[in-house]
Chain A
Amino acid sequence: MNSILVTSKKETSKLYRSRNGNMQAIPVRDTELGTPSSGTAETDEWAIPLIALPQTYDEQVREYVLTFDTVDDATTHFQNELYTLFEIEPVELGVTHPAETYILKSLQQLGSFVVEEIDKIWEDLKTKNQHFARDLILCLSRLDADIVFDWAYKYVREALQSENVSLRDAAVLAIENWECRDCLSDLKEYISSEKVKWLANYAEKVADDLQKNS
């Protein structure tokens, strides 16, 4: 059973994930803590090393142990942190974005917890804030396909069907970034229905590149 170590000023708890997927916070004594911020190496306890917002734009990031008691708090924090990063600066082509590192580090430390959170975030964003939805797809597309493709490609497929041009553009860009030859049939089907000419041309170019490189 995996656990996530969390601390608060009031108490420290471990979050346990049971086999049915639910999580539960159980308070622990100080003596059980060890070193909270490096729990992954020697134990099966996972400290939550979410990244504090950079104090400046110099991409200096630092890790800290979060202060919350429940899974709901953890969820809220992860969401808030991600949304804040998107609010501070939109994702631009050619420029790395702090949310890439944030998602990657969170995934490395928390695995499926973060995947589930991103799933909820996508469901929320795809209708309510398509600008952030685009940013999320772009950030995920910049991570190694081995890490994200299996669970993130469904967002790309949905984005290809979106009425929002920016989302469709981001979806094509994700396929290009992942160099995903298995996506060719989805991409070709999409191209045949794309009405925006510049975007259809770009998608065709990506499909050609994928075929050439295969």
Chain B
Amino acid sequence: MLRYLCRKISANKWNPNEYTGDEGIRADVLGSCLRTADDEISLWACDFELAENGNLMEADVGQVALILIASSERIDKVELILIAESELSRMEIRIVNTPQHVPDNLKHINHLSERHYDACELTVEKINHLAHYVAKKIRLADSLYITFSKNDLREIVRKAIIDGTIEVNNLAEKVKAEIQKKYPEIIADK
């Protein structure tokens, strides 16, 4: 089992443009995808199996998408970047399991809060390493950059409602309305 840490990002902010050159990174990412507070950023853990051919077998990254949708006001595509725990160690980035830092609007999915980590004691140099890692993964459309479409997300939420992982009434109104529109029977049953 390999542990990865996920961060929600917006890939369009990572594209090179006329003033960054091919390798450069826009400063805007520091205020959005890699915005720190108290020199920390939030990460969510997920585990992967390593297949015999050496490829990663997707395990539970959908659970991270679920967490993010459960705290969203509406369903929009979710883009995640996955960083191996070992890669974070190589960048000398310390991670700490911090379920107590889960935002209030996610308290209703308590059992998922164990997945919450903070990357701590970040410096400009460490963020720089992290930024280059993220940029590379996105620009190569690497398998560690994952996009969940609206359709994927609705399906994840549907399953989570059916298996009781989340309570439909705890979802934001617009999220609930979208699920209801797509799967009216699910909401009616609950």
Interface string of B59-96 (1 = CB under 8 A from A): 00000000011001111111000000000000000000
Task: Of the listed stretches A27-35, A36-44, A68-76, A191-199, name the one at the interface; the rest are far from the partner chain.
Answer: A191-199
From known contacts A169-B12, A198-B141, A201-B141, infer whether A209 and B76 are also in contact, taking CB-CB under 8 Å: no
B138 CB–A CB distance under 8 Å: yes
Nearest Cβ distance between residue B66 and chain A, in whole angstroms?
A: 13
Q: Within the assembled complex, what's the spacing in Å between the Cα atoms of A95 and B71?
A: 10
A142 CB–B CB distance under 8 Å: yes
Q: Within the assembled complex, what's the spacing in Å between the Cα atoms of A171 and B101?
A: 35
B124 CB–A CB distance under 8 Å: no
Q: Chain A residues near B76 (CB, 8 Å)?
A: 93-94, 173, 177
Nearest Cβ distance between residue B74 and chain A, in whole angstroms?
A: 6
Q: Chain B residues near A201 (CB, 8 Å)?
A: 141, 147
A212 CB–B CB distance under 8 Å: yes
Q: Which of B89-148 contact A (CB under 8 A)?
A: 138-141, 145, 147
Is B147 within 8 A of A165, CB to CB?
no
Is B77 within 8 A of A93, CB to CB?
yes
Q: How large is the interface on A (under 10, 10 to 19, 20 to 34, 35 or more residues)?
A: 20 to 34
Q: Chain A residues near B13 (CB, 8 Å)?
A: 166
Q: Which listed residue (A166, A205, A206) contacts B12, Cβ 8 A?
A: A166
Q: Chain B residues near A93 (CB, 8 Å)?
A: 10, 76-78
Q: How large is the interface on B (under 10, 10 to 19, 20 to 34, 35 or more residues)?
A: 20 to 34
Is B149 within 8 A of A197, CB to CB?
no
Q: Which listed residue (B11, B68, B150) contacts A177, Cβ 8 A?
A: B150
Is B74 within 8 A of A198, CB to CB?
no
Is A198 within 8 A of B151, CB to CB?
no
Q: Which listed residue (A142, A202, A212) contacts B77, Cβ 8 A?
A: A202
Nearest Cβ distance between residue A197 and chain B, in whole angstroms?
A: 4
Q: Which of A162-208 contact B (CB under 8 A)?
A: 165-166, 169, 173, 176-177, 196-199, 201-202, 205-206
Q: Which of A141-175 contact B (CB under 8 A)?
A: 142, 165-166, 169, 173
Q: Which of B11-28 contact A (CB under 8 A)?
A: 11-13, 15, 17
A213 CB–B CB distance under 8 Å: yes
Is A199 within 8 A of B11, CB to CB?
yes
Is A196 within 8 A of B149, CB to CB?
no
From known contacts A94-B68, A176-B149, infer whether A197 and B141 are also in contact, taking CB-CB under 8 Å: yes
From known contacts A93-B10, A96-B174, A196-B15, infer whether A173 and B77 are also in contact, taking CB-CB under 8 Å: yes
Is B149 within 8 A of A205, CB to CB?
yes
A-B contact pairs, 25 of them (CB 8 A): A93-B76, A94-B69, A94-B72, A94-B73, A96-B174, A142-B74, A166-B12, A166-B13, A173-B77, A176-B77, A176-B150, A197-B139, A197-B141, A198-B139, A198-B141, A198-B145, A199-B11, A201-B141, A202-B147, A205-B149, A209-B149, A209-B150, A209-B151, A212-B151, A213-B151
Residues of B within 8 A of A (CB): 10-13, 15, 17, 68-69, 72-78, 138-141, 145, 147, 149-152, 174
